[in-house]
Amino acid sequence: MWRLRKPPFEPLRGPWKMNKGRVGWPIVGGACYDLPMPHRLPSGSAVHVLVVGDIMLDRYQYGETTRLSQEAPVPVVRVDSTEDRPGGAANVALNVVSLGARCTLVGAVGNDDAGRTITQMLNAADIETDLVVIDDWPTAVKQRVVSKHQQLLRTDFEASTPAAAAREVAERAQQHFRKADALVVEDYDKGAIRDPQAIVDAARRRRIPIIADPKFKPFAQYRGVSVLKPNRREFRKAVGFWPRESDLPARARALVDFAGVDAMVVTRGSEGMTLFEPDGSHLHIPAVPVDVYDETGAGDTVAATLGIGLALGWSRRKSARIANVAGGIVCTKVGTAAVTLPELNSALASEERPDHGYVSRQQLLDVVARARSRGQRIVFTNGCFDILHAGHVGYLDEARKLGDRLIVAVNDDASVRRLKGAGRPVNRLERRTRVLEGLSSVDWVVAFDEDTPEALLAEVRPDVLAKGGDYTEEEVVGGDFVRTYGGDVRVLSLIEDCSTSAIVESIRSA
């Protein structure tokens, strides 16, 4: 689900080795699938996800540590701020609405300050709530002490949800099935989900996709769910230790059959995520390379994203791949947190963006924005490049040295004919771009159908506009525009007696 990189404040151990977008991932069952990244999540409130489960308050106390206690060998934290966040099923609900869907949350809270704090936060997040409020029972609170981005201590204040309240939670949940496009059962084993089977059976009668996030109950108690989502520890508790990775698919298939679930997604931390289907097929999804600051709540984010994906009618594989990316993003945040729709779609888009070669016009704008966010200098040049010759290669090498990234914009076939006349281009657009993207000096190749690149220049706004030496600076098309925002216009060296027109004429004469 996520892959560790070393954060700036904490040394992490592990044989993690990065390549340019590809790594040596663990193989499951002899096959590691590398599928195209799925589409982005749509914006708006198109789907409604019902979340049922244990609700808790995550409280963070932040402060500075400068000494050890004289009473015991423990650090002394001078707390200077406290932050409360929704936890458990409430965090799942928060992730659902942060990703642009609507959400109803059903669960139980105490008639106390923590319960009222959670309710206020949920209402502020525009989450519809139907909460059982229990007198003389404490809302579950997980209190963490954090100093210099390190969690030093966690204290839990909780008591099992009374059986009568758990029955009411189940009854209230069923009242919301008619408007739900998906159901997420978030069972932290705190007592709100005493009988998951009753909730699952009622949801199946409504033909609602169901995602269940279990903890310590036998998996068979979730019989009938669309996707059961245990983490690595929960899965190992159910199937035992597996000596070889190749043994995993058979064990998982047996567990899927025994539990009677449609499919299972096992989140495996730094090893990624594996989807097991009832027909024995499986998909291993490599971990997303991120700087892991905190894994708290990553499973909540995955459950929420799976719920939205299935509510949209997407396949389990597509939903799992998006959930994998979302889980990785939330690990870059400190504490219990939610992933927003722009964050997720930006991450998905970055996976779709090629780092080299031919790109569409929109892809070019995306990769340029990403390069600029890294402080890189963008160089732009353009031409027909009908027959690539030594003059082209020389001036492209020279252009690349003017910045960090070189864009080569190429006239399409129709515009070449308008500019050069009948019989041109000699080589079709796909052949011309293929040769250009093979040059080490070229980062991105993009086509344009106008006679000049001025419209494309207005969109890209390069730092440098470069042209070959057969031009003067005043003759460079788009040069005046580039200068208006402080860009440079450069005319590069010319190799004599080397031009496409001369080469074509020589061939025709011969």
CA–CA distance, 266 with 500 (Å, rounded to integer)? 58
How many other C-beta atoms are found inside a 10 Å radius of the C-beta of residue 381?
A: 27
Q: Tokens in use for 302?
A: 């995955």
Looking at 251-292, which runs of residues are DSSP E strands? 264-267, 273-276, 282-285, 288-291
Q: Cβ(466)–Cβ(380) under 8 Å?
A: yes
Six token digits for residue 13 = 């151990």
Can 300 be counted among the known catalytic residues?
yes
Give the span between the Cα atoms of 464 and 479, in whole angstroms.
Answer: 10
**Rounded-to-integer distance, Cα 59 and Cα 79, Å:** 13
Taking the C-alpha atoms of residue 97 and residue 51, their distance in angstroms, rounded to an integer, is 11
CA distance 176 to 183: 10
Report residue 467 CA to chain centroid gap: 39
- Give the integer Cα–Cα distance in Å for 48 and 57: 24
Contact call for residues 100 and 322 (beta carbons, < 8 A): no
Give CA–CA dist 248/12, Å, rounded. Answer: 27
Angle at 314 between CA 308 and CA 319, to 5 degrees: 60
**CA-closest candidate to residue 319, choices 335, 333, 307, 328:** 307
Residue type, 178: R
- Token output for 68: 């050890």
Identity of the amino acid at 398 = E
Tell me, rounded to whole angstroms, the distance of Cα 492 from its chain centroid: 42
Q: Mapping DSSP to helix (H, G, I), strand (E, B) and coil, where does residue 372 land? A: helix
Beta-bridged to residue 385, according to DSSP, are none
Q: How far apart are CA 301 and CA 294, in angstroms?
A: 13
Question: CA-CA distance, 12 to 415, in Å (whole number)?
Answer: 55
HEC profile of 301-330:
HHHHHHHHHHHCCCCHHHHHHHHHHHHHHH
Alpha carbon of residue 454 to chain centroid: 34
| Active-site residue identified among 54, 181, 187, 300 | 300
Per DSSP, what are the bridge partners of residue 143? 59, 155
| Residues labelled as active-site residues | 300
